[in-house]
Structure formats: C-alpha cells, structure tokens
Structure 1
Amino acid sequence: MLRFQDWQENQREVFFPDTVAFKWQMIETFIDGEEYDRSHVITESKWLAEHVKQGEIGAQEEYKHYKFNFSGNGQIEVISNGFTVKM
C-alpha cells in the first residue's frame, strides 16, 4: 500500500495486490519521455527481466515495472501484476 498527498493536497492510496519487488529513492533518474510528476509503466525493464531470469517471475506472468515520480520528492518503483488507486 502506497499512501501520499497529491499536488492538489488530496490523499491517495495505491494498492499493489501481488508485489514481487519495490524500491524507493530520493534521487531522480528518468528515461527519455518520462515526466517528473506522473506514474509510468517501464517497458523493456532490465529490473523486471532480471526477476524473470532468476526465476522469481515466470516469463508468461503479467507482472509490470511501475514507476511513480513525485515532483522532486523522490521515486518509488514496483514490480507487481497491477494496482488499484483509491481516491
């Protein structure tokens, strides 16, 4: 469960039902086209591929690499098979 206050000061909750990995960092790193204040699905993720390679995730499973950027306040990345936003 990820809880945060958005730019309009609304409380948000994001639930990741089946999480394999997550990481938080205060620094910011971006790939081409990635916005600093949005969530993204990272395609061709090396991090996700490494989890498949080491057998933590089956190649046919529906896991994705999600990345949430918090406008200069850090980033959280999650490998999960989906998420639900509660507003």
Structure 2
Amino acid sequence: MPISAANLEAAIRAAIPVAHLEIEDTSNGCGENYAVFVVSEAFEGKSTLARHRFINEVLKEQIAQMHAFSQKTLTPAQYQAHLAKQAA
C-alpha cells in the first residue's frame, strides 16, 4: 500500500516540534519514493547522523514500505542561513 505525504507529515509532527517541513513524492505520485526536508529545534546539538537516525526511527514503519527515502534535517538557525544563501 502506498504511503501518503499526509501520513509522513503526521508522524513527524507528532514526534518533534517542526518549524518547517517539506515532503516531496519523488515517485511521480505512486507513494514509493519520498524526500523530506525537516527543520526543528529538536535537532539542536545533534549531528546530522543522529538527526537522520531519529527521523528514520520515527518513520520506521513507513520507510519499510518505500522503495527510496531521502532526508535533509536542519536547525532553525541553519535554515535561516540556508534561506539567506538562496536569496543571495
């Protein structure tokens, strides 16, 4: 059964406070490949690996049903720097 973006969003928002969230179905709508971009204060002081492991654990059941999953995780300060870099 395909995973929905709403299902992923609900699971992430239930686990951590989210400042910004983007979920992209990269499988042309079939729900088998997703890319997520999560910004949360919960990531403060954690390495990228620790952040990714956390999201993988939160979405363990959903990821098991997918073909591919990618993620980008930032703190709010890193996200502001990211936005400033894009604007420049």
TM-score, normalised to structure 2's length? 0.30
* Structure with greater proportional strand content: 1
Report which structure shows greater RCO (CA 8 Å, sep ≥6): 1
* Structure with greater proportional helix content: 2
TM-score, normalised to structure 1's length? 0.31
